[in-house]
């Protein structure tokens, strides 16, 4: 009996020692993970500080934003954040004045940053639909525009006419089959032409509305979606500042984990996202 008690005591001591060692190693691993996370956060914070300084330094410089679809340039915009003239803050450019592949060295003579966004990103950073009020007074109608409709118009050579036909048919459904959709289209086209001077402007405005709506609906999903598309190469930035170099080096899953820590929202990353690159 004494030997049995001694055996049980020895086993208990051994078990306590093993558990203590396990907990010790676990605590060390957790501590190292927290230190690593802190260093990464500190690095990202410092990089963001440097980028803010860089942004302020070049706030009066022109930046170029290009919307593409499989290497076909759809629209181009010049952006100057701190321009005194409102018209200069965002200027629509002729898309046919740019060709792929872009000559970055030449373009940087006129533009500080060059951002290219491929339409494939619509899956992640476009909202599923938007409701747009069209027309004035008796002509006004709220039209639901789906992502699929927007992409079809953006890819079209006659986007405004295509959009007007869809809107006119919606108006006819509301008013009845005898409604004069031709006259309605003409009136709406006159209104649109006051604000939009070209098909390129319409395409850019449409893409911008879907992106802005997605960002307002779910900012976390929007940021992580934009990040994943950047990592795939569907969003390109030139010149890259410190924050972009860090994003290039850090796995997407780790960045998403950091975003979750700050937002308390769970995000499911793409599988093999860091290994995916779009071949252009």
> Are both 104 and 165 inside the same structural domain?
no
CA 240 to chain centre: 17
Residue 55 lies in a domain: no
- The whole-number average pLDDT for the span 171-193 is 81
Q: Looking at the structure, tell me whether residues 224 and 92 fall in a common domain.
A: yes
Secondary structure (3-state) at 65: strand
133 and 197 share one domain: yes
Domain that holds residue 89: 63-124+218-275
Q: How far apart are CA 14 and CA 147, in angstroms?
A: 64
Q: Of 165, 183, 213, which one is at a domain's C-terminal end?
A: 213
69 with 173, same domain: the answer is no
What digits encode the pLDDT tens for the residues 24-82?
555 566 666 666 666 656 666 665 665 666 666 666 788 899 999 988 898 888 888 77
Residue 245 lies in a domain: yes
Q: Is 148's pLDDT higher than 90? A: yes
Under the banding of pLDDT at 50, 70 and 90, the label for residue 151 is: very high
Q: Which of 213, 230, 247 is the last residue of a domain?
A: 213
| pLDDT (mean) for 245-252 | 76
Q: Is 41 part of any domain?
A: no
Contact 88, 109 (CB under 8 A): no
Please indicate, yes or no, whether residues 207 and 223 belong to a single structural domain of this protein: no
Band of the pLDDT at 142, cuts 50, 70, 90? confident
The pTM of the whole model exceeds 0.85: no
Co-location of 93 and 108 in the same domain: yes
Confirm whether 209 is domain-assigned.
yes
Whether residue 110 is found in the same domain as residue 168: no
Higher pLDDT, 225 or 85: 225
Which pLDDT band holds residue 143 (cuts at 50, 70, 90)? confident
Give tens-digit pLDDT for 90-101. 888 888 888 888
Is residue 13 one of the residues assigned to a domain? Answer: no
Spatial distance between the Cα atoms of 65 and 236, rounded to a whole number of angstroms:
10
Classify residue 147: in a domain, yes or no.
Answer: yes
Q: Per the structure, how many domains does the chain have?
A: 2
φ, ψ at 147 (rounded to 5°): -60, -40
On the question of pLDDT at 280 being above 50, the answer is no
Domain boundary (213, 233, 254) is at: 213
Q: Are residues 184 and 243 in the same domain?
A: no
């Amino acid at each position: 009996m004494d030997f049995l008690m001694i055996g049980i005591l020895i086993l208990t001591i051994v078990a306590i020692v093993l558990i203590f060692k396990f907990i010790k190693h676990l605590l060390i691993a957790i501590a190292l993970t927290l230190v690593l996370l802190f260093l990464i956060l500190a690095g990202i914070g410092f990089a963001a500080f440097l980028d803010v300084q860089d942004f302020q330094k070049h706030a009066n410089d022109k930046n170029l934003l290009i919307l593409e679809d499989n290497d076909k340039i759809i629209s181009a915009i010049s952006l100057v954040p701190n321009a005194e003239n409102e018209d200069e803050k965002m200027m629509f450019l002729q898309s046919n004045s740019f060709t792929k592949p872009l000559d970055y060295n030449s373009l940087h003579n006129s533009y500080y940053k060059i951002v290219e966004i491929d339409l494939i990103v619509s899956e992640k950073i476009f909202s599923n639909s938007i409701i747009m009020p069209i027309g004035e007074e008796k002509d006004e109608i709220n039209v639901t525009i789906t992502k699929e409709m927007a992409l079809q118009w953006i890819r079209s050579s006659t986007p405004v006419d295509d959009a007007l036909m869809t809107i006119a048919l919606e108006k006819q459904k509301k008013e009845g089959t005898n409604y004069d959709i031709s006259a309605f289209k003409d009136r709406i086209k006159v209104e649109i032409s006051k604000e939009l001077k070209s098909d390129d402007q319409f395409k850019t405005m449409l893409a911008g509305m879907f992106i802005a709506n997605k960002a307002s609906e779910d900012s976390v999903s929007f940021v992580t979606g934009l990040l994943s598309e950047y990592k795939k190469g569907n969003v390109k930035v030139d010149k890259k500042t410190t924050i972009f170099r860090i994003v290039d080096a850090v796995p997407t899953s780790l960045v998403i984990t950091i975003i979750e820590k700050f937002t308390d929202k769970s995000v499911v990353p793409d599988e093999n996202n860091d290994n995916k690159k779009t071949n252009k």
